[in-house]
Amino acid sequence: MPREITAYSNPLIKRVRDLRDKRHRREARQFLAEGLRILTEARETGRLPAMLFYAAPSRLHPLVQALVRDVEAAGGEAIETTADILSKLSGKDNPQAVVGVFDEFETSLADLDRSRAGIWLVAERLRDPGNLGTILRTGDAVGAGGLILVGECVDPFSVEAVRASMGALFTVPVVRSDWQPFLHWLRGGPGQLVGLSLDTDIDYRSATYAAPTFLLTGNEAQGMPEGYAAACDLLVKIPMLGKADSLNAAVATAVMAYEVLAQQRG
């Protein structure tokens, strides 16, 4: 049976709230996800939270009941609480109906099967959690095999990134790697590395993409280093007809991903 916590002073509430901080996430190797949609998608992929918090008025919702049942069956804990405490956990004035504490999960390059998808996304030194979450959503939408984060990227398990991914964190494998190990792995099998760049004359719609295509997006402010661009099999650009010199990194990734998808679907 779920237990009830209604006191802010409860030490478990403080410990869970601290997971919004990167240092505490790393120490606990756990992260927060909120919202019925995100937790239900996680449940459908076989990932359940170690702890599930839900507001008392939501107890009769069929999706909340399904989550409570499955979490407890898997040995986790379901906790009924108040909307105010959920707000404290999520950091939002209008909290979602449920908040879950998940154990972090890691995927390595060695775990990836490049033959399972024609599109793979690669982001280099991505700094904005909203961009990371949006790129994950794009990856889910185009059926990408995974997202490979190269270098010092934003934490994919941050509250902001998980929220922005709208559940795609649970459906798209995420790998963190340095550049040289990634390049070594990539060159160990088939794969065309395509970089998004302003320093090329090749229009993204005129190029030919060979599956599996690995789309490399550089840092939001600085783009990709020259050495990374030189390692690409192909550099393409998205034409800019207005005064802006480039698109947002997540938007550019989405535009490219759908062009590659369109070619691969014929």
Q: What is the pLDDT of residues 67-123, one digit of tens each?
A: 999 999 999 999 999 988 998 888 777 767 899 999 999 899 999 999 999 999 999
Same domain flag for 95 and 124: no
Q: Looking at residue 95, what is its pLDDT?
A: 67
Give per-residue pLDDT as tens, 22-71: 999 999 999 999 999 999 999 999 999 999 999 888 888 999 999 999 99
How far apart CA 125 and CA 103 sit, in angstroms, is 24
CATH number (domain holding residue 62): 3.30.1330.30
Question: DSSP labels for 98-134?
Answer: EEEEEE---B-GGG--GGG-SEEEEEES---HHHHHH
Kindly indicate the confidence band of residue 8, based on its pLDDT and cuts at 50, 70 and 90. confident
Pair 192, 114 in one domain = yes
Residue owning tokens 């804990």: 77
* Nearest alpha carbon to residue 80 among 62, 102, 65, 63: 65
Minimum mean pLDDT among 75-79, 137-141, 167-171, 262-266: which range? 262-266
Range of the domain at 236: 109-265
Are residue 86 and residue 160 in the same domain, yes or no? no
195 — phi, psi (to 5°)?
-100, 140
Please give the pLDDT value at position 251.
94
- Among 57, 88, 103, the domain boundary falls at 103
Assess whether 121 and 238 both reside in one domain.
yes
CA diameter of the chain: 63
Residues 237, 154, single domain; the answer is yes
- The rounded distance, in Å, linking the Cα atoms of 59 and 256 is 43
The encoded tokens of residue 201 equal 């004359």
Q: H or E element: which one contains 51?
A: strand 51-55
